[in-house]
Amino acid sequence: MSLSKFLFASSCFFSLALIPFSANAQDTADLSTLQNELSSLRQLQFELDDRINAIEDRLQALAPEQSAPVVIEDVATQPQTAAAPAPQTPADRLTFGGDFRVRYEGNFSNDTVRNRSRGAMRARLRARYQINDTFAVGGQLSTGDPDDPNSADVTLSSFDDDLAVSLDQAYLQAKFANTELYLGKMPLPFRATDRLWDGDVSPQGVSANYEVSLSDASRLAAHSLFFLIDEAAMGDDSAMIGGQLELKHQLTPLIQTDFAIGYYNYRLHNTADADLGDFRTNLILGNTYLSDFEILSLIASVRWNEWTHWPIEIRGDYSHNFGAARFANAHTDDAFGIDLMAGKLANKGDTRFSYGYAQSDVDSTLAAFAQDNIDFGTNYVFHSIGVDYALSSHLFFNGSLYRYHLKDIQFAPAGETVAWRNRLRLNLMAKF
């Protein structure tokens, strides 16, 4: 109903409301008078119509152009879509992790080697920031001697001096489909054992990693590294270029296999910055290595998951240095080891037992980056027994006993013997 019709109806209603509805109304009202009033009201209504139309025309002329009317659809009849994820904030892109370990270590021998006990600790803090879908930066702070690349442990001594902490990793990471690149000082890209690469080594340079699925049961991975070991201002640098192929195969629902083959070619032209800890038990001529290091490495493992809490794993490794110096009456170029493990460390209460045996010739590998579990980086015979227990999903106890001796006395450092040595380690480690 328009405004003019509403006013006309309202006027008629109030006028009629004044007419008495009793049978005596004709005595108090004159019919002709009512007709005149009705005629006046109609004339008034026509005038109001004209005025209202004029006002509406002016309003329409002054108002801006209106958009098409908005149609509100029934939500219940429309297909529902998932809400868009909230954009990541800088805090969401930053992640942290790390571990902390305290250790008691006892060293015992029946020979002239002095018995020694010590307390040690290791702390590492990692951070990673995802710049975008492709690039990330990461780093790691670690305790330990910055001049020792294969150990982050610190002996608790020196009249309570502060701990040495250094930037152990700093890298740029990029991911493209199945390929991953690292630039800087990065985590070790290879599948490895302590015979060849200690777990604390963080090489510097550039690495590329590629992984692809061959079938529902098999995956193939390729790892490569250009390792800048030492740069020389004048003369040739020292570097390594290496690669590894790794095949993972689910042989049966309960049996997993893993096989890796790698080759690492060192060119150690400059050793001016190497110290005794870098040379360790390798053969030295003057201030450089006697041997070249062109190392072929093989690693194979089988894991059997017949029992939920007690999976069994057997792992073996072998390496050969094609560049080792030759001697008529001694082997210098091979290393091998075998490890047996039963159990796992996934949840609170889990237990794992292990036994290992290994031998290493004096120049089978570059000792600077090999294991630091015992005094010798190469030229040893080694047994180990270990037990691990998960106090929680992030807190673990480990006890290890190492029994070892030098393999070839003619390559022993001055004052060393081939007597058996024993090293007991009790570790408490927290991971986060």
Whether residue 83 is predicted with pLDDT greater than 80 in this model: the reply is no
pLDDT of residue 414: 80
pLDDT confidence tier of residue 38, bands split at 50, 70 and 90: low
Domain count, the chain: 1
Give domain status of residue 420, yes or no.
yes
Give domain status of residue 76, yes or no.
no
pLDDT of residue 104: 98
> What CA dihedral angle connects 267, 272, 274 and 276, to 10 degrees?
130
Question: Average of pLDDT values for 366-392?
Answer: 96
pLDDT of residue 416: 84
Give domain status of residue 87, yes or no.
no
| CATH number assigned to the domain comprising residue 122 | 2.40.160.10
Whether residue 357 is predicted with pLDDT greater than 60 in this model: the reply is yes
Give domain status of residue 13, yes or no.
no
Whether residue 21 is predicted with pLDDT greater than 60 in this model: the reply is no
Whether residue 45 is predicted with pLDDT greater than 80 in this model: the reply is no
Nearest CA-CA partner of 203 in 170, 231, 244: 170
pLDDT of residue 33: 65
Whether residue 25 is predicted with pLDDT greater than 80 in this model: the reply is no
Question: What is the rounded CA–CA span in Å between residue 154 and residue 157?
Answer: 9
- What are the structure tokens assigned to 111, written together? 């020979």
Report percent pLDDT > 90 for the chain.
67
Phi, psi of 51 (to 5 degrees): -65, -40
Higher pLDDT, 82 or 18: 82
pLDDT of residue 77: 38
pLDDT confidence tier of residue 73, bands split at 50, 70 and 90: very low
Whether residue 349 is predicted with pLDDT greater than 90 in this model: the reply is yes
Give domain status of residue 1, yes or no.
no
pLDDT of residue 75: 36
Which range marks the domain in which residue 416 is found?
A: 95-431
pLDDT of residue 252: 95
pLDDT of residue 13: 43
Predicted structure pTM score:
0.77
pLDDT of residue 353: 98
Contact 387, 362 (CB under 8 A): no
pLDDT (tens digit per residue) in 180-207? 999 999 999 999 999 999 999 999 999 9
pLDDT (tens digit per residue) in 107-164? 998 776 779 999 999 999 999 999 999 999 999 999 999 999 989 999 999 898 899 9
pLDDT of residue 70: 38
Give 121's contacts (C-beta < 8 A, 6+ positions apart): 100, 101, 102, 103, 143, 153, 154, 156, 163
Whether residue 65 is predicted with pLDDT greater than 50 in this model: the reply is no
Question: Average of pLDDT values for 351-356?
Answer: 98
pLDDT of residue 91: 83
- What are the structure tokens assigned to 80, written together? 């529902």
Whether residue 264 is predicted with pLDDT greater than 70 in this model: the reply is yes
Question: Average of pLDDT values for 239-245?
Answer: 98
Higher pLDDT, 28 or 401: 401
- What are the structure tokens assigned to 336, written together? 């091998």
pLDDT of residue 15: 45
Contact 387, 399 (CB under 8 A): yes
pLDDT of residue 6: 45
Residue 228 burial (CB < 10 Å; 0-12/13-18/19+)? middle
Give domain status of residue 284, yes or no.
yes
Give domain status of residue 80, yes or no.
no
Give domain status of residue 84, yes or no.
no
Q: Which of 39-48, 164-173, 231-240, 361-370 has the lowest mean pLDDT?
A: 39-48
pLDDT of residue 14: 43
Q: Any bridge partners for residue 133, and if so which?
A: none
pLDDT of residue 46: 66
Whether residue 424 is predicted with pLDDT greater than 80 in this model: the reply is yes
